[in-house]
């Protein structure tokens, strides 16, 4: 078949494309008309809804609005044709394979790989200017390949083996792409047969529940398979299933996989994954939205706005000048060059970043988001593309034609002004932090009981053991963007990752188990931020090691100040903190200066510097050591292969040179520590000036508290790993505190990275502040003589609570904070359990089935003695601790109620004798993860005060919103020694 002749098949009578279809491809008017001339005529027109949708998908695969004879498209199309021609010439159908190097039968990846090659051939057949456009021989080879795979590999009766992903996502996605591209050349019988195979591996039941492998990015991928199968088979049922199955992806989650309100994105339960699985989710959704728009199956769920919002909260913070930071790419950092890739193209932070940037641009040009959102996204994308000096997008070898076309159109669009690099600081609940300035950016990777040391699996990321032990990634605007792109991961010493503190105890490949199986048993990881500056910390533990220690990073304007304390280990091996490990690339010309003296550039050189004041690497940055320190340094060439860390990657040796800087804490250290200041981009002269005139004072560096002050910025920041004091700050439990004083105002932000406490009391030795100008989740108890705050940290998932005070205005009345334990707690149950008492239990249950007397409704009851309270109650919060334990879902809403009477007893009350619910009070959200929920019960407590005419006891019920079915939530009772209910009362 050639490009000017329609192929025999099952195409229908053509009709003109609607304007909606042209707009969905991001092209309008003459550009769209011109683009359609670059496609075979049978792809330029469509007959019905299914054909129109197929046409939209083909255009997303092939691109529009570009000149195939111009750069960069001509070269990309020529390469595509060459690769397709190579596949065509080497295809050799036999009993065991379509290509000899991809045998079928034991390795499921070979099934996906085979369809990937057929997809390349199909693209070369349909695309203009490939040298194989419209080739009848190529079309015949593709058809032969599809039939062979249907007969021998991907059949309606094949039993799966190896990796589920290949059967349900990898293979069917590529198969359906080929079918869409070659649709006019295929017979109805072929299409029906291929759809039947997809039905076998990906039935509707794969998305029946939002659990297991059917969540987050995987769920979007499965929906894409179902939708395309519906389009190609002209069947509405799979499309309806796909549309409905997308909805669970949109709501914010508080546990497990998905998008969190703070911008976190997790996959595989424990892994921060915005850079790989997150890219799959974003890319899949942007394509699905475009495919379904304007049809019966258009996505109308209002929660889709969460996805649009996440573009700026979940993805943009980790994108820097076109790359995506490795700390959110999981085991993907180890892939590098695949041994099965004939082009030997390396996957790295830039190629992954280009994918995400392309997905955002696809959303921005789809017409689906608001004009304001789309304009903001385009401006962000243009900024990233214009600033990416290291791997310019138009030179990309991994992006396909449609993505290149959109990028070039944006770069050529004079109406879009590129956004500048933002100045911001973010701390995420997924144990990640990002600090951005105009000339540089940094990202911290931590771990805790909530996240894993690292992820390995499928033979990938075999030596990523310490990547989350405080690794500090940093990049410059015009320097250092190849630090992790240039074969860093296969050549770096895995025991010397920048910023980490580790035991050098030898670890086996994949130590700790697959899929994030190993977690530290510490909960302190995270910190607090005011959006511009951050205090970040970690209670660090060693993987398969006795190592413990405390680490902090204080993120400032031109630097990050780093502290370590309490570093202790009994492994019988050395322990070190790596200040940095700069990848010098294949060359070795960078000048290294220590205290004004240029050091040798000889590979193999090593030196111990005592009482060192500063170090600097020309063109990269500098490190200052307040008060002097003993620092080890070496220049070394390291050789490795991608296959060392990923079993499916290239075995070709690679050598890169490194300048390594570290503190040697010795064998089995006890209470070791360190202090240094990283200054990205700084020269040796700037470092010398900083060493001579420090801008930071260390207030504390112990295992209990790490704190600094930075007078030029008005900042005092502290990480408390236990109750205690540091500088002007005293706290009653673990927390992170950031103070900024400037121009007669003070802002204080408090968080609890451990997520263990309902409230944290913070006392600040400042007497000049009076009035409260703004507050969120913080109660000001007094400003008389000192500032005393009560931060309500429960249920925030580690987020900060903030208050702003001023030296002017009228001081608020002094208040007291009381925390009362319950005098009685229990629950009651309806139906056949209506006369059963559940007193003397350590847990109580809440569930509203919205069906009366079915035996599954349960309410919790609590009583508190408030007779000892004095003063006016201004705020009262009932804090309960527990989690959702229900197979029907993961998240529910709890609600507090007043009851008709307090005349019930813990060991006597039943459903039939329990007081009725009267007044609706506060609400809160609970998920599968154990957490505090704070329910506002101010009115009930005020009414129960003796001084207000009450009887001194407040009786409360916890249930779910009336008339709405909820999930079973299990809460702790007063008899539980861990986190029993607490009534917080603020009175003045």
Q: Which residue numbers are catalytic?
A: 218, 268, 277
Phi–psi pair at 145, nearest 5 degrees: -65, -45
Neighbours of 491 (CB within 10 A): 22
Burial (Cβ within 10 Å: 0-12, 13-18, ≥19) of residue 64: buried
Angle between helix 277-292 and helix 216-233 axes, rounded to 10 deg: 30
- C-alpha to C-alpha distance for 743 and 49, rounded to whole angstroms: 63
Sign of CA dihedral 523, 549, 269, 298: positive
675 token code pair: 């202090």
Burial (Cβ within 10 Å: 0-12, 13-18, ≥19) of residue 661: buried
How many H-runs (helices) and E-runs (strands) does the chain carry? 20, 44
- C-alpha to C-alpha distance for 381 and 364, rounded to whole angstroms: 10
- C-alpha to C-alpha distance for 207 and 168, rounded to whole angstroms: 11
Find the radius of gyration of the CA atoms of the chain: 31
- C-alpha to C-alpha distance for 382 and 378, rounded to whole angstroms: 6
3-state secondary structure string across 739-804: EEEECCEEEEEEECCCCCCCEEEEEECCCCCCEEEEEECEEEEECCCCEEEEEECCCCCCCCEEEE
Contact 13, 51 (CB under 8 A): no
Neighbours of 432 (CB within 10 A): 28
Specify the DSSP class assigned to residue 244.
H
883 token code pair: 């989690």
- C-alpha to C-alpha distance for 920 and 879, rounded to whole angstroms: 16
* Residues whose CB is less than 8 angstroms from the CB of residue 370 and which lie 6 or more positions away in sequence, other chains included: none
- C-alpha to C-alpha distance for 204 and 636, rounded to whole angstroms: 55
Q: Nearest Cα to 463, choosing from 498, 512, 519, 510?
A: 510
- C-alpha to C-alpha distance for 384 and 406, rounded to whole angstroms: 14
Phi–psi pair at 604, nearest 5 degrees: 95, -10
Q: Nearest Cα to 624, choosing from 634, 633, 614, 632?
A: 614
821 token code pair: 């334990």
Burial (Cβ within 10 Å: 0-12, 13-18, ≥19) of residue 227: buried
- Could you tell me which residues are beta bridge partners of residue 782? 788
Q: Nearest Cα to 551, choosing from 542, 559, 543?
A: 542
Neighbours of 375 (CB within 10 A): 15
DSSP string, 670-714: SSEEEEEEEEET--HHHHHHHHHS-S-EEEEESSSEEEEEEGGGT
765 token code pair: 């030795």
DSSP string, 18-55: PHHHHHHTT--HHHHHHHHTTS-HHHH-B-SHHHHHHH
Q: How far is CA 200 from the centre of its chain?
A: 33
Go through 294-316 and write b for each residue having 16 or more CB atoms within 10 A of its CB, e for each that does not.
bbebebebeebebbbebbbbbbb
Contact 792, 924 (CB under 8 A): no
Which residue in the block uniquely carries the two structure tokens 């054909």? 51
């Amino acid at each position: 078949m050639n490009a000017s002749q329609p192929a025999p098949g099952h195409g229908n009578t053509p009709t003109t494309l609607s304007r909606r279809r042209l707009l969905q491809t991001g092209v309008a008017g003459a550009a769209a008309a011109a683009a359609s001339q670059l496609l075979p005529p049978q792809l330029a027109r469509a007959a019905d809804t299914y054909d129109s949708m197929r046409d939209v998908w083909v255009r997303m695969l092939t691109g529009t609005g570009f000149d195939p004879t111009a750069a960069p498209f001509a070269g990309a199309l020529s390469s595509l044709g060459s690769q397709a021609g190579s596949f065509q010439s080497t295809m050799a159908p036999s009993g065991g394979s379509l290509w000899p190097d991809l045998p079928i039968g034991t390795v499921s990846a070979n099934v996906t790989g085979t369809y990937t090659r057929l997809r390349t051939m199909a693209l070369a057949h349909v695309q203009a200017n490939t040298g194989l456009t419209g080739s009848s021989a190529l079309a015949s080879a593709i058809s032969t390949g599809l039939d062979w795979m249907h007969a021998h590999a991907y059949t309606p009766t094949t039993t799966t083996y190896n990796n589920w992903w290949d059967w349900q996502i990898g293979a069917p996605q590529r198969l359906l792409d080929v079918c869409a591209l070659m649709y006019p050349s295929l017979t109805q019988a072929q299409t029906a047969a291929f759809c039947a195979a997809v039905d076998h591996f990906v039935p509707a039941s794969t998305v029946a529940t939002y659990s297991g492998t059917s969540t987050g990015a995987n769920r979007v991928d499965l929906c894409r398979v179902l939708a395309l199968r519906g389009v190609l088979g002209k069947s509405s049922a799979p499309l309806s299933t796909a549309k409905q199955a997308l909805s669970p992806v949109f709501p914010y989650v508080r546990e497990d996989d998905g998008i969190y309100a703070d911008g976190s994105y997790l996959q595989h339960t424990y892994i921060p994954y915005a850079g790989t699985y997150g890219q799959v989710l974003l890319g899949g959704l942007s394509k699905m939205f475009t495919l379904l728009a304007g049809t019966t199956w258009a996505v109308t769920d209002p929660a889709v706005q969460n996805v649009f919002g996440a573009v700026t909260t979940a993805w943009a913070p980790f994108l820097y000048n076109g790359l995506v930071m490795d700390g959110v790419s999981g085991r993907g950092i180890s892939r590098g060059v695949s041994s099965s890739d004939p082009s030997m193209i390396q996957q790295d932070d830039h190629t992954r970043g280009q994918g995400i940037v392309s997905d955002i641009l696809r959303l921005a040009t789809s017409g689906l988001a608001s004009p304001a959102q789309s304009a903001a996204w385009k401006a962000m994308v243009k900024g990233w593309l214009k600033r990416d000096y290291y791997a310019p997008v138009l030179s990309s070898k991994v992006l396909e034609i449609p993505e290149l076309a959109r990028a070039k159109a944006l770069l050529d669009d004079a109406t879009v002004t590129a956004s500048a690099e933002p100045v911001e600081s973010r701390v995420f609940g997924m144990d990640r932090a990002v600090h951005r300035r105009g000339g540089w950016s940094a990202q911290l990777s931590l771990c805790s009981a909530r996240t894993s040391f690292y992820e390995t699996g499928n033979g990938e990321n075999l030596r990523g053991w310490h990547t989350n032990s405080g690794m500090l990634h940093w990049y410059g605007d015009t320097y250092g963007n190849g630090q992790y792109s240039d074969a860093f991961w296969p050549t770096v010493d895995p025991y010397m990752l920048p910023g980490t503190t580790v035991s050098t105890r030898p670890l086996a490949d994949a130590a700790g188990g697959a899929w994030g199986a190993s977690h530290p048993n510490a909960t302190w990881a995270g910190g607090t931020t005011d959006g511009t500056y951050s205090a970040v910390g970690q209670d660090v533990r060693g993987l398969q090691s006795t190592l413990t220690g405390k680490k902090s990073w204080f993120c400032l304007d031109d630097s990050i100040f780093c502290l370590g304390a309490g570093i202790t280990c009994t492994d019988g091996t050395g322990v070190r903190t790596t200040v940095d490990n700069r990848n010098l690339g294949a060359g070795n010309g960078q000048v290294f200066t220590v205290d004004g003296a240029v050091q040798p550039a000889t590979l193999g050189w090593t030196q111990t510097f005592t009482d060192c004041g500063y170090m600097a690497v020309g063109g990269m940055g500098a490190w200052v050591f307040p008060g002097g320190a003993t620092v080890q340094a070496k220049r070394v060439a390291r050789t490795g292969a991608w296959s060392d860390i990923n079993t499916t990657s290239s075995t070709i040796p690679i050598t890169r040179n490194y300048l390594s800087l570290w503190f040697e804490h010795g064998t089995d250290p006890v209470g070791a520590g360190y202090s240094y200041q990283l200054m990205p981009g700084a020269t040796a002269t700037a470092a010398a000036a900083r060493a001579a005139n420090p801008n930071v004072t260390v207030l504390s560096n112990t295992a209990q508290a790490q704190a600094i002050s930075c007078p030029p910025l008005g900042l005092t920041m502290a990480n408390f790993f236990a109750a205690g004091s540091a500088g002007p700050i005293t706290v009653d439990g673990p927390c992170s505190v950031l103070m900024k004083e400037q121009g007669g105002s003070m802002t204080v932000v408090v968080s609890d990275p451990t997520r263990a406490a309902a409230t944290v009391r913070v006392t600040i030795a400042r007497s000049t502040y009076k009035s409260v100008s703004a507050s969120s989740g913080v109660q000001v108890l007094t400003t008389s003589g000192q500032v005393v705050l009560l931060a309500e940290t429960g249920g925030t998932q580690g987020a900060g609570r903030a208050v702003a005070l001023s030296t002017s205005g009228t001081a608020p009345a002094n208040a007291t904070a009381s925390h009362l334990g319950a005098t009685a707690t229990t629950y009651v149950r309806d139906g056949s359990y209506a006369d059963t008492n559940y007193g003397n239990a350590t847990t109580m249950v809440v569930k509203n089935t919205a069906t009366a007397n079915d035996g599954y409704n349960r309410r919790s009851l609590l009583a508190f003695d408030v007779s000892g309270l004095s003063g006016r109650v201004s705020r009262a919060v009932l804090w309960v601790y527990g989690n959702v334990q229900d197979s029907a879902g993961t998240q529910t809403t709890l609600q507090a109620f007043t009851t008709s009477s307090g005349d019930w007893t813990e060991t006597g009350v039943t459903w039939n004798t329990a007081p009725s619910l009267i007044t609706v009070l506060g609400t809160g959200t609970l998920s599968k993860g154990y957490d505090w929920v704070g329910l506002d019960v101010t009115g009930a407590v005020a009414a129960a005060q003796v001084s207000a005419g009450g009887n001194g006891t407040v009786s409360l019920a916890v249930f779910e919103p009336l008339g709405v079915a909820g999930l079973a939530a299990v809460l702790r009772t007063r008899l539980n020694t861990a986190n029993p209910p607490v009534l917080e009362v603020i009175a003045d």
